Structure 1
């Protein structure tokens, strides 16, 4: 089972630019599990080396890990959507909606004063 999980994870990186075909539930699940473990270990190691590595190099490493992880996960998501009979474009709908929510949170002004969730954090810091 461990070898299947590792092979599923490696397959995700071998097919990082492959958006055709299908992926099974177990392949996708194993990929996500190993991906989470590897990401946790990678970032733990990187951030424990922050006093050794220059911040620019650390930032570059984090960015490279993020981009490769994003691309591998995106291609696996597309192939998994194909397996359930859906278009891979659903991934982009999700990304657009997530981006819209983030942008909305950045540009919408806060409610003045206190609301049901507590006092205004800007007045607390003064």
Structure 2
């Protein structure tokens, strides 16, 4: 499974937390999410800086004088980050869940993310999946043949 196919599969299964995902599917989507995150941070940073560009004096504190901030660009910066969370964050959690299923583990292991232990989930994602079907579904590495249409 290549880069484009992995991204397409993850968006097709946008919020599907059932089933299994191969290592290739998981890691290619992680690369895609990282590239999009880089672009998102650049856009949000530019908007954030634009929000404070019109400050009357550099010593003016926005907490004291909220009129020194352009709220439009600031809101847009937060909107860009929220959009990333919805468009990329949800399928990232879903593919992570399916990857955990591939190694025979429950989705509850994603709770480690809330504890700041995401590196553990990434380490688990490196492990080869269980061969054959397991309680979460069929092996994602087995290519299902499609019967030829006559």
**Equivalent pairs, count:** 96
CA distance in 1, matches of 2:46, 2:74: 12
Q: Is the 8 A contact 1:17 1:71 kept in 2?
A: yes
CA distance in 1, matches of 2:10, 2:19: 13
1:97 pairs with 2:95: no
Instruction: Flag structure 1 segments of 5+ consecutive residues without an equivalent.
Output: 100-126
1:18, distance to aligned residue in structure 2 (A): 0.3
Structure with greater helix share of residues:
1
1:96, distance to aligned residue in structure 2 (A): 4.4
Q: What is the TM-score of this pair, normalised by structure 1?
A: 0.64
Give the equivalent residue in structure 2 for 1:42: 40
CA distance in 2, matches of 1:58, 1:45: 7
CA distance in 1, matches of 2:33, 2:91: 10
1:48, distance to aligned residue in structure 2 (A): 2.6
1:44, distance to aligned residue in structure 2 (A): 1.4
CA distance in 2, matches of 1:57, 1:49: 7
Where in structure 2 are the equivalents of 1:1-126 lying within 5 Å?
4-50=2-48, 51=50, 54-92=73-111, 94-98=112-116
Q: What is the TM-score of this pair, normalised by structure 2?
A: 0.55
* Residues 1:85 and 1:40: Cα distance change in structure 2 (over 3 Å): same
- Deviation track 1:2-31 (CA, whole Å, cap 9, x = no partner) reads xx2022123222212101111001111111
* Residues 1:58 and 1:13: Cα distance change in structure 2 (over 3 Å): same
RMSD over equivalenced CA pairs, Å: 2.3
Instruction: Flag structure 2 segments of 5+ consecutive residues without an equivalent.
Output: 52-71, 118-150
User: Is the partner of 1:54 in helix, strand or coil?
Assistant: helix
1:45, distance to aligned residue in structure 2 (A): 3.0
